[in-house]
Structure 1
Amino acid sequence: MRNTEEAEGLDGEASNTSMISGASSPYQPTTEPVHARSVLGGIRCDVDYLKSYFGILKAVEVVLSLIGFICIETIMMCSPCGGVYFFEFVSCTAFVVTGTLLVIFSLNVHTKVPHVNWNLTDLGNTAASTFLFFLSSLVLACINHKTGAEIAAVTFGFLATGVYGLNTFLAVRRWRRGNGSQRAAQSSEYMRARTASRGEMEARPELA
């Protein structure tokens, strides 16, 4: 009887040990990796951003850049062609970069790369696009053959300049507001640390 009870006890302990080791085993089958769920769960369409001033302005910028690029591409003959090529480069680059940023912000992809200052990146893009669109539109307005495609390209180029300029103004305000909030938070944390240190010194005079 004792041998039987000891055998049953050993079997029970072995079974419990197997269950514990199986529960803690890193090779348990899963239907979906946790990392994949967390990554895919963060990528979603941010409707609030698309309805905001920045989302609307960025969508308008993409459309104006694309229309300007299409207009300049319809020009078959030019002499000199420097202004045409310059406007073509600016409109194409603005369309690609601004379109990429629009996708990144509207899908919340920027939250997955927090070490990049996205507000400053957006500000740099809008400021550079404002200057380049204004310069290329001015050059094309001065050096053209008054064709319909050139006039349309100049018109959409100056419209894009205005929209990018407004976006730059709002981006500067957002950047300054963010820096002000960060400095205020750092100052508040510093004051709390000093207050805590002073309270500890008063509670323990031997430290002084």
Structure 2
Amino acid sequence: MEQNGWGPPAVDLNFLKSGLGVLKLVQMVLSLAGFIIAEVTASPYNWEQMKAFEWISLTIFILTLAVFTTFLASWHKTEAVVRVNWPLVDFCHSALCTVLWSINLILGLVSISWYYYPSREGGAIAGTILAIISLVTFWATVRMSYRRWHLFSPTPTIPYHYQHLGTEPYS
């Protein structure tokens, strides 16, 4: 996994095969599908709801892509960011995306009730079903990330001025 020089980043195939990696891939596909559905089915009558659905889906896609790329490329193991609590970052990302998909679910339900054209109602129904599935996948990721966060225990460091004295603070 170690990278020397200026080559491409090392790909962590174990992450790609893990449950968390597969869930992140599924979440990116669902978010991109939600963006496309909202873009295609937006009508003048519910333009605000579907545009909000579209932008929330795109935001979730970009955030998930950033976290997925960080873990896949093993950038979270580099010296520059090794002190970051990555399980906590993943937990916060998953929790935020769960809240955003909850908003998308509400927007999808409102869009279904506001459609006047039966031909466009299918897009709102598809978006709502997609929001429900995405909400379930992100909830599973929140649970998985929460467990990983609580298993993570960073090594405590002793400040420099106590290291060279050989004494512990408050002794």
TM-score class normalised by the smaller sequence: 0.7 to 0.9
| Structure number with higher relative contact order (C-alpha < 8 Å, ≥ 6 residues apart) | 2
- Asked if 1:150 is matched to 2:124, the reply is yes
Aligned to 1:87: 53
CA distance in 1, matches of 2:104, 2:42: 19
Q: 1:40, CA displacement in angstroms?
A: 4.2
CA distance in 2, matches of 1:52, 1:109: 17
Aligned residue identity for 2:85? N
Aligned residue identity for 2:138? Y
Aligned to 1:65: 31
In structure 2, do the counterparts of structure 1 residues 138 and 158 end up closer, same or farther at CA, with 3 Å as the change threshold?
Answer: same
Aligned residue identity for 1:53? G
| Equivalence map 1:42-191=2 (5 Å) | 43-112=9-78, 113-144=81-112, 145=115, 147-178=121-152, 181-182=153-154
Aligned residue identity for 2:48? G
The answer to whether the Cα contact below 8 Å between 2:90 and 2:145 also exists between their aligned partners in 1 is yes
Counterpart secondary structure, 1:116: coil
| Equivalence map 1:16-35=2 (5 Å) | none
CA RMSD of aligned residues (A): 2.2
Query: Any unmatched runs of 5+ in structure 2?
Result: 157-166
CA distance in 2, matches of 1:76, 1:124: 31
More helix by percentage: 1
Flag the structure with larger Rg.
Answer: 1
Q: 1:38, CA displacement in angstroms?
A: 2.5
In structure 2, do the counterparts of structure 1 residues 78 and 39 end up closer, same or farther at CA, with 3 Å as the change threshold?
Answer: farther
Q: Quick one: percent identity of the two aligned structures? A: 28
Q: 1:94, CA displacement in angstroms?
A: 0.6
CA distance in 2, matches of 1:39, 1:64: 36
Q: 1:136, CA displacement in angstroms?
A: 1.7
Query: Any unmatched runs of 5+ in structure 1?
Result: 1-36, 187-196, 198-208
The answer to whether the Cα contact below 8 Å between 1:42 and 1:108 also exists between their aligned partners in 2 is no
In structure 2, do the counterparts of structure 1 residues 157 and 78 end up closer, same or farther at CA, with 3 Å as the change threshold?
Answer: farther
CA distance in 1, matches of 2:127, 2:19: 25
State the Cα deviation string for residues 51-103 of structure 1 (Å, max 9, x = none).
11110110110011011111001024132333212211110001111012111
Using the size of structure 2 for normalisation, the TM-score is: 0.77
